[in-house]
């Protein structure tokens, strides 16, 4: 009887440890390869979302003749999160000129990432800029390579 009770207790502890490990968000180390591919380190939030921001310092945007600071909406970003099924989800927003739209769409679609919105966030800015939202599911490194190819289309 004691042996069975001991074995049952060990089994319960092992199950609890496995559940705790599965519920723990991945650490910074699990995103190192994504950072390498993107060429930029991101920030890991407490809930396990890894976000990388790409400021568009090459754009000189004005509204009413006044410069728009990069920090006021002139940045692209990609956020990655591990899903319970082992896949990774990516969502992002890319700021671009009209002449960059088709190249970015082509790069995202080629890697299996879906474009979900294309619109403006500002009115009357010069030059006119657009924002493209996207999402995808798959293997983290593959998604990162696709996002990198899309970001590489900016500023050409």
pLDDT digits (tens, 9 = 90+) for 132-154: 999 999 999 999 999 999 999 99
| pTM (two decimals) | 0.80
Q: DSSP H helical segments within 24-122, as ranges? A: 32-38, 101-110
The string of pLDDT tens digits covering residues 70-108 is 999 899 999 999 999 999 999 999 999 999 999 999 999
pLDDT at 29: 62
Q: Are 145 and 36 within 8 A, CB to CB?
A: no
> Does residue 10 carry a pLDDT above 90?
no
pLDDT class for 18, splitting at 50, 70, 90? very low
Domains and CATH numbers, the chain: 25-151 (3.30.1460)
Is a pLDDT exceeding 60 seen at residue 14? no
Q: What is the DSSP letter of 146?
A: H
Please determine, for residue 130, whether its predicted confidence score (pLDDT) is greater than 90: yes
Query: Which pLDDT score is estimated for 28?
Result: 57
| 131 Cβ contact partners less than 8 Å away, ≥ 6 residues apart | 93, 94, 95, 96, 117, 118, 119, 120, 121
Q: What is the mean pLDDT of residues 116-133?
A: 95
DSSP run (H or E) holding 91: strand 88-97
């Amino acid at each position: 009887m004691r042996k069975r009770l001991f074995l049952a207790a060990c089994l319960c502890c092992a199950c609890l440890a496995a559940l705790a490990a599965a519920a723990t968000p991945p650490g910074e180390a699990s995103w190192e390869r994504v950072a390498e591919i993107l060429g930029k380190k991101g920030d890991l939030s407490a809930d396990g979302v890894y976000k990388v921001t790409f400021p568009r310092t090459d754009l000189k945007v004005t509204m009413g003749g006044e410069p728009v600071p990069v920090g006021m909406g002139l940045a692209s970003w990609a956020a990655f999160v591990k899903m319970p099924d082992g896949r990774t989800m990516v969502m992002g927003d890319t700021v671009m000129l009209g002449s960059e739209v088709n190249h970015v769409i082509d790069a995202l679609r080629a890697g299996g990432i879906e474009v979900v919105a294309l619109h403006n966030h500002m009115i009357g800015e010069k030059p006119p800029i657009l924002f493209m939202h996207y999402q995808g599911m798959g293997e983290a490194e593959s998604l990162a390579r696709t996002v990198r190819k899309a970001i590489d289309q900016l500023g050409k």
